[in-house]
Amino acid sequence: MKLTTEDVERVARLARLELSADETERYTTELTAILSFVEGLQAVDTTGVAPTSYITDELDELRADDVVQIDAGERAQLIDAFPVSKADLLVVPPVFSNYKA
């Protein structure tokens, strides 16, 4: 599996990572080596084998869809954890790039 710098740039964009030219170069080499190694799995005959996505004997469990109140202190802590806030509100960047506040 040989990746190109374009492959890495595309994957980085999808994952919301911004890479410098140097980083792109380095990750192209590293990811090519890693993917070539894990590609060795293609050699395993998995005909008729079911995939395992998780390991548990439990069945899906449902709970009542109840509103759970939190106290004022916890609410204040959550707001305090906002990276940027205005009064009690979380400030977020505009979703549409042509939007002017």
Partner 1 sequence: MKSHIGLAEWAMLLEKKEVSSVEAVNYFVERIEKNNVALNSFITVDADEARRAASVIDERRARGEALSTIAGIPFGVKDAINTAAMRSTGAAKILDNYTPTFDSSVIKKIRDAGGILIGKHNCDAFGHGASNENSMYGAARNPWDVSRVAGGSSGGSAASIAADLNAFAIGEDTGGSIRGPASFCGVSGLKVSYGRTSRYGAMPMASSLDTVGPFARSAEDIAMIMQHIAGHDPLDATTARATVPNYVAEIKKPIQGLKIGVPREFFMDELDTSIRMAVETTIKEFESLGAKIIPVSLPHTSYAVPTYYILVPCEDSSNLARLDGIRYGVRGAAEDLYHTYTASRESGFPAEVKRRIMIGTFALSHEHFDSFFVQAQKVRTIIKQEIEAVFNTVDVMITPTTPEVAFTVGDKSADPLKMYLSDIFLSSASLAGICALSIPCGLINGLPIGLQIMAPRLGEARALQCGHQFQQITSWHTQYPLL
Q: Residue 9 and residue 17: Cα distance in Å, rounded?
A: 9
Instruction: Tell me: does residue 67 bind partner 1 (CB under 8 A).
Output: no
Instruction: Tell me: does residue 90 bind partner 1 (CB under 8 A).
Output: yes
What are residue 86's phi and psi, to 5 degrees?
-130, 115
Choosing from 2, 22, 53, 65, the residue that interacts with partner 1 (CB under 8 A) is 53
Beta-sheet pairing, 89-90 with 85-86: antiparallel
Instruction: Tell me: does residue 93 bind partner 1 (CB under 8 A).
Output: yes
> How many amino acids of this chain bind partner 1 (CB under 8 A)?
51
What are residue 85's phi and psi, to 5 degrees?
-140, 160
Q: List Cβ neighbours of 92 (8 Å cut-off, separation of 6 or more).
A: 84
Instruction: Tell me: does residue 97 bind partner 1 (CB under 8 A).
Output: yes
**What residues line the site for partner 1 (CB under 8 A)?**
3, 7-8, 11-12, 14-19, 27, 30-31, 33-35, 37-42, 44, 46, 49-58, 60-61, 63, 74, 77-78, 81-84, 90, 92-95, 97
